Chain A
């Protein structure tokens, strides 16, 4: 169960991508999302693909590991490819077999859309693979700081995110335990109709929710006992600091973006 939950799973390393400032990485992802949708010819798509794969190489993670990590998304990527392949009727007819007809417009659309999707997911999952959840939270907190003026509870928000992230693996373990416990009592998750399988999830969710609430309560007590009182008089251990590497990265990214805009039509 855990193996394909790579999204949100940090892989420790000291690659250049790991060492970058999370604020920069977050802004970069934000920009990348727009850039991906601005690609409009084969060359620009090729360029983005090259970029993405070189990011993976820079992260020193195995490409296979990253691709495996986005396994749950493959379905959507394939789905959008096939959907456009069969249902978009633009351009020239390429192939016909009975009621199935494939047009070149559909082929192009399918490929580009699923490629966009793939690149987006790949690069965003790189963020979570190379950045600790805590760094991401710090990054978000730092980027949202200006909103404090309008009484947005930025610190609380950041803490909430970081605690949820910290408890994801814990709750996954819990879920596995509960599902084994229920399976040992005869609940069948793997066979039967869709309806009965959905019903089988209920005895999983109820205990999971109960234990999550209990955990939350105990955690709140522990936090209070450790002197937590919100944002009041708090110092921070983790300090974000831009390094030479970050400035270099900004320069490189701007150059890459420039190249992209030059190539696209």
Chain B
């Protein structure tokens, strides 16, 4: 059974607007890690909202776990999905770290004893267990984002949606959060949808969905993305360093067998090339 399915989905906020999402079809399989990219205004964040039933499509249908996202089933569906938003500030509901992690659990009616346990575990998972009673304004953006992740993980969702979850952090914070997220996701084998501008996150995905003006432009693997000729600025991504290096080499007549995905692969490709010639 597919985890998430978009079936010919149309969506717009107001009737006199153009479609933000137009004739969108795609499926996400259980356990898959899918990155959704596209320039600003391509409807990426709207997709996340549609999956969670925060907004409903005007035409078409969305299925989560085989269940159609409608107002009747919305609470069951939201139980299965956890979402980390872009802005660490506006998703912090509780007055302390512990209360905030508890918020999602309280909403789901988790018994208190179990709650205490789960909060502790998920705070340890994100490395925030020393900050249990801290207030949000004493935390950095990265720390708040960790708490948000803990809050989502504590509810043990099947699906995690990361809506540009690292985009408001500094480079170091971004790297750390990305590490935390990918470790937890691997541990728990969750289906992941990351909406992102970050090339590194894209490279870690199993599949990349490219949106263009609310339509599905292409659906491919990260390797295919690197191998193809794309206007990176248009995709809303910075061109990966590895790719720039590869292109520079190609100018001088070097030929690569595979497109390298990351630094290690580039180095491997270079030294094997060197030892062959």
Q: A122 → chain B, closest Cβ, in Å?
A: 24
A 149-167 contacts with B by CB, 8 A: 162-163, 165-166
Instruction: Fill in one digit per residue for B142-167: 1 if any A CB lies within 8 Å of its CB, else 0.
Output: 00000000011001000000000000
Take A224-B54, A227-B78, A234-B106 as given contacts and tell me if A218 and B90 are in contact as well, using a CB distance cutoff of 8 Å. Answer: yes
New A-B pairs, 15, CB < 8 Å, besides A132-B95, A226-B104, A237-B112: A10-B135, A163-B93, A173-B137, A225-B81, A226-B83, A226-B107, A227-B104, A227-B108, A228-B93, A228-B107, A235-B105, A235-B106, A235-B111, A237-B105, A237-B116
In the assembled complex, the Cα of A133 lies from the Cα of B137 at a distance in Å of 14
Taking CB atoms, residues of chain B closer than 8 Å to A16 are none
Q: B156 → chain A, closest Cβ, in Å?
A: 12
A27 proximal to B (CB < 8 A): no
3 nearest A-B residue pairs (beta carbon): A218-B90, A222-B91, A237-B102
Q: B residues engaging A (CB < 8 A)?
A: 49, 52, 54, 75, 78-79, 81, 83, 85, 87, 89-96, 98-99, 102-112, 115-116, 119, 133, 135-137, 151-152, 155
Whether B102 pairs with A166 at a CB distance below 8 angstroms is no
In the assembled complex, the Cα of A238 lies from the Cα of B98 at a distance in Å of 10
Whether A223 pairs with B109 at a CB distance below 8 angstroms is no
Chain A minimum-CB-distance residue to B137: A169
Whether A134 pairs with B96 at a CB distance below 8 angstroms is yes
In the assembled complex, the Cα of A215 lies from the Cα of B99 at a distance in Å of 19
A183 proximal to B (CB < 8 A): no
Chain A minimum-CB-distance residue to B81: A225
A233 proximal to B (CB < 8 A): yes
Q: A74 → chain B, closest Cβ, in Å?
A: 26
> Count of A residues near B, CB < 8 Å?
31
Whether A234 pairs with B109 at a CB distance below 8 angstroms is yes
Taking CB atoms, residues of chain B closer than 8 Å to A169 are 135, 137
**A interface, over-half SS:** helix
Whether B109 pairs with A222 at a CB distance below 8 angstroms is no
Taking CB atoms, residues of chain A closer than 8 Å to B103 are 223, 226, 228
Instruction: Fill in one digit per residue for A1-44: 1 if any B CB lies within 8 Å of its CB, else 0.
Output: 00000000010100000000000000000000000000000000
Q: Which residue of B91, B95, B99, B104 has the most chain A CB atoms within 10 A of its CB atom?
A: B95
In the assembled complex, the Cα of A219 lies from the Cα of B79 at a distance in Å of 18
Q: Which residue of B85, B135, B136 has the most chain A CB atoms within 10 A of its CB atom?
A: B135
In the assembled complex, the Cα of A180 lies from the Cα of B104 at a distance in Å of 36
Whether A237 pairs with B95 at a CB distance below 8 angstroms is no
Instruction: Indicate which residue in A12, A221, A226, A235 contacts B115 across the interface (CB closer than 8 Å).
Output: A235
